[in-house]
Amino acid sequence: MNDLDLLRATALIDGAAVEGGAAIPRLSPVDEEPLGVLSTSDATIVGQALESAQRAQRGWARRSSIERGMVLRKWAAALSAERQRLARLLSREIGKPILEAYGEIDFAAATLQYSAEFDRRLDGVLLQPERRDEQMWIAPEPVGVVAAIITWNAPIALAMRKLAPALIAGNAVVLKPHELASFAVLDVVRLGLGSGIPKGVVNVVVGPGAPAGVALVSSPIPGLVTFTGGRNAGKAIAAQAAEHLPALSLEMGGKAPFLILDDCNLDEAAAATVAAKIRNCGQTCVANERVLVHRSVAAEFLQRLTDRFAALKVGDPLERAVQVGPKVSKAELARIEGLVDRARAAGGQVVCGGSRLRGGAFDRGYWYAPTLLTGVTARMEIMQEEIFGPVLPVMEVESFDEALAVANDSPYGLAACVFTSDVRRVMRALRELECGEVYVNRPPGESVHGFHSGWKQSGVGGDDGMLGLRHYLRHKTVYLRA
């Protein structure tokens, strides 16, 4: 455990820890050493958290947006002050390389700062009335209580993507982090309480989707349910929430294609391709999930990829030179192993990697070798389903037309990357790619003032920026007779 003590995650309601039922032990994915225990929240505890948020929300909303913005700025400063400690905890909890952990915390602090800037920009609209001696306007108001559920791959950043805009808009939140990544999130929320977030305005429940998540989204209290995670979980959440019709914002993963065209800079494209694949061990929703490379440059490009994969440093994520850490859990490791094995059985060829890492420190923990696959076809499972690991299938295409067709042949539509020096191809790709984010000649990576939004089965709604903030507001039209 190095300098980290065993941890305990409980619900946090009205600023106090609330013990739950079944205890779930958590092991570090790095070495399978005990990390801590989750005291899981049952439906009763979730109900208490929702009621706490409902009681606290009105008082928080009555504060001026300027006051709320000041609290968010103090929270951002507290987060930055604890950057080193939180980064180490995050690395031990999910296996994220330490430099990436620092980046995640910086993103979360920037999200707080950005959301705080809306303290003077939560504007309504003044309209010209149709009748004499009247005024007419549209006023923004908070949705009330927000139910926020997040996955494990970037827990601090994802939590803040929900919390910061919800709070500046005047909402209260009940947050459920994933059971694989609760410790760091709870630490961050405690920093918020210490920075002036009133008790009850942010509550946390912990544990698996059943019962905690089900109780949260099936309650009549939330005005908004916002989720980041897997496609099947997102569909289940939408169905469970349907009875009470809250607003929904669901980000449900991706299958980002990288289009490597015959006129691009191959060195730059190869560097971006690898960087986008190995970030957080491939466990990001905008990760490079499939490469579509023009046949005329395929051999040369594949050699560049192979050389770069062979040079990757895999190991203890607390070491600054490490680029690839472990998978987050034993189940995730087995899932990746199965995907590669089935791809090989279907005709895929392993260029490098293709198995668990073993020997020395790799005999403990959840390690999979960075893997390149060729010989894949567009309809193979590994080209259709989200990999979420350090495995990259590479498919050759005959033309730009074929690359676009294969890129769009997916139930997902979150992100895509195009590498070309032809502006006409860029403009066509921007028009025709069926996804919410397009990156040209660079790897994926969102900005806090952009809009992170999926198309198709990658979700509805979205996070970040002005468009993301709108999900946390509803609007009231006022007709005033003077």
Give per-residue pLDDT as tens, 252-275.
999 999 999 999 999 999 999 999
Is the pLDDT assigned to residue 304 strictly greater than 80? yes
Q: What is the 3-state secondary structure (H, E, C) of 258-272?
A: EEECCCCCHHHHHHH
Tokens of 61: 């909303």
Confidence class for position 21, pLDDT limits 50, 70, 90: confident
Cα-Cα-Cα-Cα dihedral sign, residues 332, 338, 340, 346: negative
- pLDDT score recorded for residue 3: 44
Average pLDDT score over residue span 144-169: 98
For 67-96, how does the pLDDT look when each residue is reduced to its tens digit (9 = 90+)?
A: 999 999 999 999 999 999 999 999 999 999
For 293-302, how does the pLDDT look when each residue is reduced to its tens digit (9 = 90+)?
A: 999 999 999 9
Average pLDDT score over residue span 374-391: 98
Is the pLDDT assigned to residue 356 strictly greater than 70? yes
Nearest to residue 315, comparing CAs of 306, 303, 324? 324
Is the pLDDT assigned to residue 151 strictly greater than 90? yes
Beta bridge partners of 125: 138
Average pLDDT score over residue span 219-245: 97
Confidence class for position 459, pLDDT limits 50, 70, 90: very high
Average pLDDT score over residue span 163-177: 98
- pLDDT score recorded for residue 86: 98
In whole angstroms, how far apart are CA 4 and each of 1, 93, 108, 183?
5, 11, 22, 12
Q: What is the CATH number of domain 257-447?
A: 3.40.309.10
Question: Which pairs count as long-range contacts for 80-86, CB under 8 Å and 24+ apart, including other chains?
Answer: 80/105, 80/106, 80/109, 82/187, 82/191, 86/156, 86/184, 86/187, 86/188
For 26-61, how does the pLDDT look when each residue is reduced to its tens digit (9 = 90+)?
A: 999 999 999 999 999 999 999 999 999 999 999 999
- pLDDT score recorded for residue 377: 97
**Domain boundaries along the sequence of the chain:** 7-252+458-481, 257-447
Any idea which fold 7-252+458-481 has? Aldehyde Dehydrogenase; Chain A, domain 1 (3.40.605)
Average pLDDT score over residue span 3-11: 79
Strand 391-397 to strand 290-294: parallel, antiparallel, or no bridges (unpaired)?
Answer: parallel
- pLDDT score recorded for residue 22: 86
Distance CA 163, CA 171 (A): 9
- Mean pLDDT (the chain, rounded): 97
- pLDDT score recorded for residue 1: 38
Active site residues: 251, 285
pTM of the model: 0.96
- pLDDT score recorded for residue 5: 66
